[in-house]
Structure 1
Amino acid sequence: MSGHSKWANIKHRKAAQDAKRGNLFQKLIKAIIIAAKEGGGDPATNIRLKAALDRAKAASVPSNNIERAIKRGTGEIEGATYEELAYEGYGPEGVAVIVECLTDNKNRTTPEIRMIFDRNGGSLGATGCVAWMFERRGVINIGGDDLNEEELMEAALEAGAEDVENDGGFVVYTDPSVVDEVKEGLESKGFAIDEAESQLVPKTTVKIANPDKARKILKLMDLLEGHDDVQNVSSNFDIPEEIMDQVE
């Protein structure tokens, strides 16, 4: 699972890039709308909405924007209707890629995503071509220095986690349905949570040992993540730290 931990680090870099592009708020608002649409506007009974609200608040999205997004999702006020789409394909070096989108215009989004793949050494595939390489899990990244691994493991398992890994940073894995409960359990024990969400985790990874090849893959990831309709990009590449150092 080291590849996924590396990918988790890349996702943190993505968050900073999103903020620079100015589209982070838009993505968070879309996530709130679709969560409220599917499960209602009460975060106490809608786990997905609660997670979306937590991310929005962490990014300092204004409360009035959040309230409007919830009402748009529940139909109390009118607005664009979003649908969820997942695109599957391959990137440079044959790495598997899944792109999760929220869009109000599928006919616009699909050709744009296809073009990004085609122009950057990848190819969009049929539904199901790479989904079997991933599984959805709850992923909690733990912050802080000098953490005691045994104490974290004990607290995580007590809270309902499945596993804890240390690969340049602690990651707690859970069933996606209990990620919020485990997060709250860890916070109650004093652990700082950097990120907690449901993610597509690769079952196996492809090691990329060449800086030039790594740059091509990361360029594709950056362009996909920069698209306004893209919510998440998951891939199964593993770029070792020494190669990342040469890329950056």
Structure 2
Amino acid sequence: TIAAREGGGGDPASNFKLRLAIEQARAANMPKENIARAIERGLGKGGGAALETVTYEGYAPGKVALIIEAATDNRNRTTPEVRGVIERAGGTFASPGAVSWMFEDAGLITVEKSGKLLDDILEIAADVGAQDVEDAKDFVEIFTRPNEVEKVKNALVQKGLTVISTEIFKKPTTVQIVSDAETAKKVLGLIDKLEDLEAVQKVYANFEIADEIIAQIKS
């Protein structure tokens, strides 16, 4: 994993990014030996070319901004793959900085409701320094500054909340509304194809789709 190198080494005790990556891998039921191999490769050990992080930017149909994070041992192979997927879907492959200003780094901690009232969770989140809270029906999303995510997570656990997942992500600062089903299908299809690429780790987009449009797509 790239987190091993960029976060400061292969010891999760001293590398917060690596701890997050390991937690996410375990949540996805990745075997321990696969996690160990990923760490070794991220450090350039264990054979094979070392991975590097590459960030791509672009637009999906409907002027939806995209940031694509990839981990690759061959940038010259991955770049045309990403470009091709975007352009074949009717989008635009953009230069660095073209859309990144529409996003900001943020921490996201997802917690179980565990029978607690939303007002109680809001109060706890405010007490431990969270920036924002969103109710997602079965769970609650708590947003933090990226450099405070671990501190807030630990404080939430101490307050009795059950943490489902923790991550640092690109949060949109501007939102593009997708108001028709055809465009929505194209945007969602493009994101699916990007996520299917082996090198792609994360795809961030700044769109919102109304519930009635989602219902049309599913019908």
Q: Which residue matches 2:159?
A: 189
Please report the TM-score for the alignment, with normalisation by the length of structure 1: 0.81
The Cα shift of 1:142 comes to 2.8
* Contact 2:44/2:50 (<8 A) preserved: no
* Contact 2:114/2:162 (<8 A) preserved: no
Secondary structure of residue in 1 paired with 2:142: strand
Matched, 1:220 2:190: yes
* Contact 2:3/2:18 (<8 A) preserved: yes
Instruction: Name the CA distance, whole Å, in 2 between partners of 1:80 and 1:159.
Output: 42
5 Å matches for 1:90-169? 90-144=59-113, 147-166=116-135, 168=137
Q: Which has the higher contact order (CA 8 A, sep 6+)?
A: 1
Instruction: Name the CA distance, whole Å, in 2 between partners of 1:76 and 1:231.
Output: 20
Instruction: Name the CA distance, whole Å, in 1 between partners of 2:40 and 2:66.
Output: 33
* Contact 2:59/2:93 (<8 A) preserved: yes
Q: Which residue matches 1:173?
A: 143
Whichever structure has more strand as a proportion of its residues is 2
5 Å matches for 1:23-62? 33-38=1-6, 39-62=8-31
- Change in Cα spacing, 1:93 to 1:232, as seen in structure 2 (3 Å) is same
Instruction: Name the CA distance, whole Å, in 2 between partners of 1:218 and 1:188.
Output: 38
Q: Which residue matches 1:210?
A: 180
Whichever structure has more helix as a proportion of its residues is 1
- Change in Cα spacing, 1:125 to 1:73, as seen in structure 2 (3 Å) is closer
Aligned residue pairs, count: 216
The Cα shift of 1:89 comes to 0.7
Please report the TM-score for the alignment, with normalisation by the length of structure 2: 0.91
Unaligned stretches of 5+ residues in structure 2: none
The Cα shift of 1:118 comes to 0.8
1:51-82 deviations in Å (ceiling 9; x for gaps): 00001111111112222332333355333211
Instruction: Name the CA distance, whole Å, in 2 between partners of 1:48 and 1:244.
Output: 34
Secondary structure of residue in 1 paired with 2:38: helix
Secondary structure of residue in 2 paired with 1:85: strand
1:140-189 deviations in Å (ceiling 9; x for gaps): 22333654222212222333322212365532110112212322322333
- Change in Cα spacing, 1:233 to 1:154, as seen in structure 2 (3 Å) is same
Q: 1:84 aligns with which of 50, 53, 57?
A: 53
Instruction: Name the CA distance, whole Å, in 1 between partners of 2:123 and 2:132.
Output: 10
